[in-house]
């Protein structure tokens, strides 16, 4: 009985301190420009986190990488069993700053343009949704629970500073700390995952991903285009090769050309989801203004399960204003591919590499192929402890969760599944959107529930361990 009274006291504290939390903790953290390749901003964010958690952590460890460090620490709770908490403190860089309602690292409170004006006051900031708000909301609750000496379970906190560039050295971190991390039962990644109508979302897996760069080049300068038939043409050759990977008929990569085979569980979850999903909300929240298919079921099947071939950048030739008739001496394509299939990124890369080796034999251009990063997909069973704790917490807070069979995104946490054999869940309360886009936001009125969710989730997870 005393435990429940204590938790009600904590809920009261969380509510009473919410305005101060937003002003003193969250907005201060959001104002740090910690996009992945900004070393000064990353250093500021690292110091902010270390200072914040030093109030309730005895030993804080720094795992140095070539780019940004990983911070990790242990927090002792009232039970010795440990839950791994994964968080990220880097963000995407700023794009199209002129399109932002307010400066992207000012963390100002404003209203969004229609149709999202109905959300009321929102904090506009890079990282507000993905995922600094969730990080601070979780840490704040842990700090309060430790202050009251009622943290229900022990935690290992891991803060990744390279998530937005694919966590290239996260695997190395796991390898070097494997024995300690293996003591954890499951893994949780606090995130703001409520729809615009406040419905919480839980996704039972993530796609695999590979990111690679393909460069075509020649030893020529950039001569007049009249010579284009008798010299290497890297831009043309690169486009020809890209069509050997993917064209208007779909994938030419054998591993991804086969249709995805749905499991029985995925079929059931998808059929339930499609009956109540609001596609407009998903699209609006992502800042999308146009889609290519108007059929809801077809759109969602593609979104969740169909592999994607995306060219994020394609650079070559004369890029200034006006025209210049010349033959470019280099061309570069940055590509990412995502898939639901049970295959590894190495399998896809090796097939692309073999295709390129065959193509080079007949091409006048030279080629470089670079593997940037990649990880396999993962699945989490609905009957796992971490899934049950998430679903129970939603229902305790009077919300019926929306269950997705798979996320169309990819997550480095998949490495935890393959390396540590641990289940993980990404989710939590909070309404936000425009990740990676201008006017990234978190709804101010949803922040309180985000903090209360963390309190209830930790309590439920600890109880379910019995």
| Pair 322, 449 in one domain | no
**What does each C-alpha distance from 198 to 9, 118, 242, 265, 416 come to in angstroms?**
25, 13, 42, 25, 29
* Domain finish residue from 327, 360, 375: 375
Considering the domain boundaries, does residue 407 fall inside one?
A: yes
pLDDT at residue number 278 = 78
Q: Is residue 292 in some structural domain?
A: no
Domain identity same for 371 and 449: no
Q: Report the mean per-residue pLDDT for the chain.
A: 93
Q: pTM here? A: 0.86
Q: Average pLDDT across each block of 10 residues of the chain; the chain has 466 residues. List them in order.
A: 65 96 98 96 98 94 92 96 97 93 97 93 97 97 95 97 89 91 95 94 94 97 94 97 97 94 92 86 77 84 94 93 92 97 95 98 97 91 96 96 92 84 94 94 98 97 92
What gap in Å lies between CA 251 and CA 258, rounded to an integer? 9
Q: Which residues contact 368 (CB under 8 A, 6 or more apart)?
A: 213, 214, 215, 217
Please check whether residue 352 lies inside any domain of the structure: yes
User: Has residue 297 been placed in a domain?
Assistant: no
Same domain, 409 and 346: no
Nearest to 374 by CA among 392, 393, 352, 396: 352
What is the CATH number for 229? Answer: 3.30.70.360
Are 214 and 76 members of one domain?
no
Same domain, 347 and 390: no
160 in a structural domain? yes
* Domains held by the chain: number: 2
Q: Are residues 340 and 440 in the same domain?
A: no
Tell me: do 254 and 156 sit in the same domain.
no
Q: Is residue 424 part of a domain?
A: yes
Domain boundary among 348, 375, 402: 375
Calculate the alpha carbon distances from 460 to 49, 66, 186, 390 in Å.
Answer: 26, 38, 14, 8
**Does one domain contain both 16 and 142?**
yes
Q: Are 13 and 7 in contact (CB under 8 A)?
A: no
- Contact yes or no for 454/137 (Cβ under 8 A): yes
The residue segments making up the domain with residue 428 are 2-204+380-464
Do residue 336 and residue 224 come from a single domain?
A: yes
Summarised one tens digit per residue, pLDDT across range 178-206 is 989 999 999 999 999 999 999 999 999 99
Q: Is residue 195 part of a domain?
A: yes
In a domain, 291, yes or no: no
Q: What is the CATH number of the domain that holds 122?
A: 3.40.630.10
Tell me, yes or no, whether 255 and 194 share the same domain: no
Are residues 171 and 102 located together in one domain of the fold?
yes
Domain boundary at 328, 344, 375, which? 375
Please check whether residues 317 and 349 belong to one and the same domain: yes
């Amino acid at each position: 009985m005393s435990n429940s009274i204590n938790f009600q006291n904590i809920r009261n504290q969380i509510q009473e301190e919410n305005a101060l939390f937003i002003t003193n903790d969250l907005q201060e953290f959001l104002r740090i420009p910690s996009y992945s390749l900004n070393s000064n901003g990353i250093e500021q964010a690292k110091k902010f986190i270390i200072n914040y958690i030093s109030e309730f952590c005895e030993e804080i460890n720094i795992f140095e990488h070539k780019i940004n460090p990983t911070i990790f620490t242990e927090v002792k709770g009232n039970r010795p069993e440990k839950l791994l908490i994964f968080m990220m403190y880097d963000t995407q860089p700023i794009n199209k700053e002129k399109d932002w309602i307010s400066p992207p690292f000012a963390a100002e409170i404003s209203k969004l343009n229609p149709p999202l004006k109905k959300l009321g006051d929102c904090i506009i900031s890079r990282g507000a949704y993905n995922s600094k708000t969730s990080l601070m909301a979780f840490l704040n609750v842990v700090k309060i629970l430790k202050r009251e000496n009622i943290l229900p379970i022990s935690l290992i906190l891991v803060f990744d500073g390279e998530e937005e560039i694919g966590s290239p050295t996260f695997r190395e971190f796991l390898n070097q700390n494997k024995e300690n991390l293996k003591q954890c039962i499951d893994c949780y990644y606090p995130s703001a995952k409520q729809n615009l109508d406040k419905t919480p979302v839980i996704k039972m897996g993530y796609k695999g991903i590979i990111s690679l760069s393909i460069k075509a080049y020649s030893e020529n300068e950039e001569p007049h285009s009249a010579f284009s038939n008798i010299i290497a043409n890297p831009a043309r050759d690169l486009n020809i090769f890209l069509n050997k990977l993917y064209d208007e008929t779909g994938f030419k990569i054998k591993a991804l050309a086969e249709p995805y085979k749905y499991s029985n569980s995925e079929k059931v979850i998808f059929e339930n989801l499609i009956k109540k999903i609001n596609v407009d909300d998903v699209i609006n929240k992502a800042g999308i203004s146009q889609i290519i298919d108007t059929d809801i079921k077809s759109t969602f099947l593609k979104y969740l399960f169909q592999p994607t071939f995306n060219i994020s950048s394609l650079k070559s030739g004369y890029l200034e204003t006006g025209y210049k008739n010349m033959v470019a001496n280099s061309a570069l394509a940055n590509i990412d591919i995502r898939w639901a299939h049970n295959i590894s990124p190495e399998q896809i890369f090796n097939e692309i590499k073999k295709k390129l080796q065959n193509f080079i034999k007949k091409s006048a251009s030279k080629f470089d192929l670079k593997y940037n990063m990649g990880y396999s997909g993962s699945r989490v069973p609905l009957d796992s402890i971490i899934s049950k704790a998430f679903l129970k917490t939603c229902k305790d807070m009077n919300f019926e969760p929306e269950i997705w069979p798979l996320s169309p995104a990819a997550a480095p946490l998949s490495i935890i599944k393959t390396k540590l054999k641990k289940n993980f869940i990404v989710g939590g309360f909070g309404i936000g959107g425009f990740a990676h886009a201008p006017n990234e936001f978190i709804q101010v009125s949803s922040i309180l529930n985000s903090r209360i969710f963390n309190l209830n989730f930790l309590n439920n997870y600890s109880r379910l361990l019995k």
